[in-house]
Structure 1
Amino acid sequence: MTRWGVVATIKAPAKDIVAFVAYHLDLGADHIFIYLDNENPKAQAALANHPRVTTTRTNQAYWYSLGIKKPVRHQSRQTANASHAYRASTARLDWIAHIDVDEFLCPKRPVGALLSDIPKNVVCARVRPAEALANEGLPGLDPKTTYCKAWMPGGNSRMELEKELYPTFGGFLRGGFVSHFVGKIFIRTGLPNLEFRIHRGMQNKQEIEPRMTLDDIDLCHCHITGWDAWQKIIDYRMTKGSYRSELKPTRKPELGGMSLHDLFSFLLADGGEETLKAFYEEICLARPELIEKLRKNGVLREFQLDADAKKRKHFPGFS
């Protein structure tokens, strides 16, 4: 059986870290590498004795052991840690994926079986994202279900569908996605000079190939969980995270695209919090009419993550 695992660099509450690990253990991950980006003794203690988890606190001693200065940007720390885990995984894994604490692999068949089907010469397999919608306790929704907008194929048909789904704001963003649209990757282990990036793998400064897409796995990305939670983190994302100014638009400007930084700056300048909330309600909220339109067009995904139940199963002593 093909052995697989995941690596993540995390700065989050202990309950979220343990739930992320438990979910992927329950999915069948053979090994999980967790790099704690800050002090989190509760998470470290909970994970410490699990035989399928390696937890590393990325303190000064850790960066010294790598022979590099601690990167200032968290994205650079993520890729350095993922590359470190890749080198450590060769003896125990055949494939490893680099994902985040708010991302959950959702396969139609066992992950190991899907990876086993990949031709031997293919070294990289992409998983497309499905962006979770915030439910905010709306009536008619199953509270145990995570409703997601799925990745959409390209071309004019996608732009026409965006107009139907998101008539006011959809044209600015590819697929109506606020988070990344390209997904994440599994990389076959054992490649020399391999370096992970956030969304790709590099070898001797060239992107690795051959590559393919795993159509039977969605990457459920819980990027925005609610209006209040988004308000608390949007400033950080605008300055240091996925909305920062140097990132390019997901759609070309000549087709109406704007970078997330420019879009949110414009919305806040134009109408303040009220306009930003209108964007949130159209694009990010699991409104019944949006759910029905997504379902009708085959781009609704519904996942039963049950992360808390899996946390109790795999870490019964954690509270």
Structure 2
Amino acid sequence: MTDLPTWGVVATIRAPARDILNFAAHHIELGAHRVHVYLDAPESQAEAALRDHPKCRVIVCDDGYWRRRRKRAGRPEAHQPRQSINATHCLRRRPQVDWLAHIDVDEFLWPDTPLPGQLAALPDDCLSARVRPVEALAPDPDAPPPDGIRWFKSCARLAGQRRDETAEIYPGYGAHLNGGFLSHVAGKVFVRTGDPEVSLRIHNAFRHGEMDASPPEMPGTRLCHLHATGWAQWRDTYAYRIAHGSYRAGLRPAAPDGSGLNMHALLRMLEDEGGEAALRRFWREVCVATPALRARLEAHGRLHAIPLDPAAARARQFPGIT
């Protein structure tokens, strides 16, 4: 009998210790053979805990690290190239697994069946395989979810179907949204390790500089993205995201056919026309698991109840870290 493949994750992270260890613990308990964390800023408590865990590997991305990686160029200003450089460094240096997924600290793999079996079933010549996201909905205080459950939303893969469903599910803002998501719908990829000519970006794998354009899907695994879990959390991250992150200017319009406004233009327009109140109206229609939104999502098969609890995994894997 052929041994099943091993898998791991790599992430570049700037976050509190609790969030870093939530991420690591969840994937350890899922069966990751290695969790590679590149600390984009020092976090001594998380670093010490990760170094003590046999499944984890940690690199602190200080000035010395970037001088070694990039000589005179040093540390890239934007976080997106830092993520890609670090993921490729891990992939080529010593991933210690057969398959490596490049994901973020607020993303959690959620397979229906064990990942080794899913990865073993991929074609032998497959370089990478795509995992599609589901985006977290914030709980409605007037209609909370059942104990232990988080609500997530998904969207259709095909652009035309996604456009039509988005218009029905989000009537106020659907013309400017891609699947009703605030963040990416592309998902992330697992990449097969061992080829020194392969590199990683945010959403894709490359070989000899050419993107792996049509990786097979992994329908048995979802990527739970905790992009907007509550108004306070979303508002705290808003300024950075609109200046440098997933809402930054220059990105193409979010609608799958390229029409409408991009997220930056939409949010700026809302702020200009109605200030904080307009942002709250947008937030409630798109991001809060109200009974009305859940009903519309469920009618299209886009509502998911997932018992994701990374804090409980952290308590088991890293006891004493609160």
Q: Which TM-score tier does this pair reach, normalised by the shorter chain?
A: over 0.9
Structural mapping, 1:114-125, within 5 Å: 114-125=118-129
Which residues of 2 match residues 125-274 of structure 1 at below 5 A? 125-208=129-212, 211-251=215-255, 256-274=259-277
Structure 2 partner of 1:88: 93
Q: Which moved more, 1:151-160 or 1:69-78?
A: 151-160
2:251 and 2:211 mapped to 1: Cα distance?
19
Task: Deviation per CA, 1:175-207: give whole Å up to 9, x if none.
Answer: 111100111111100122222111111222210
Matched, 1:76 2:81: yes
Structure 1 residue ranges without an equivalent (≥5): none
Segment of structure 1 superposing worse, 148-157 or 2-11:
148-157
Q: Deviations over 1:264-303 (max 9, x none)?
A: 1111111111111111100011111211221232111111
* Cα deviation, residue 100, structure 1: 0.3
May I ask how many residue pairs the two structures share in their alignment? 317
TM-score by length of 1: 0.95
Q: SS of the residue aligned with 1:151?
A: coil
Provide closer, same or farther for how the CA distance between residues 252 and 18 of structure 1 changes in structure 2, counting only shifts above 3 A: closer
Would you say the 8 A contact 1:98–1:198 is kept in 2? yes
- The residue type equivalent to 1:286 in the other structure is A
Distance 1:37 1:257, change over 3 A: same
Q: Which range moved further: 214-223 or 191-200?
A: 191-200
Q: Which residue of 2 aligns with 1:305?
A: 308
User: In 2, distance between residues paired with 1:191 and 1:47?
Assistant: 27
Uncovered stretches (5+) of structure 2, i.e. residues with no partner: none
- 1:76–1:298: structure 2 CA closer, same or farther, 3 Å change rule? same
Letter in 2 for 1:186: F
Identity %: 39
Partner residue, 2:287: 284
Question: Once the two structures are superposed, what CA deviation does each residue of 1:33-53 show, in whole Å capped at 9, x if it has no partner?
Answer: 001111100111111111110
2:38 maps to a residue whose letter is Y
Once the 2 structures are TM-superposed, how far is the Cα of residue 137 of structure 1 from its aligned partner?
3.2
**2:34 and 2:55 in contact (8 A); partners too:** yes
Scaled by the length of structure 2, the TM-score of the pair is 0.94
- The 8 Å contact of residues 239 and 245 in structure 1, kept in 2 or not, is answered as yes
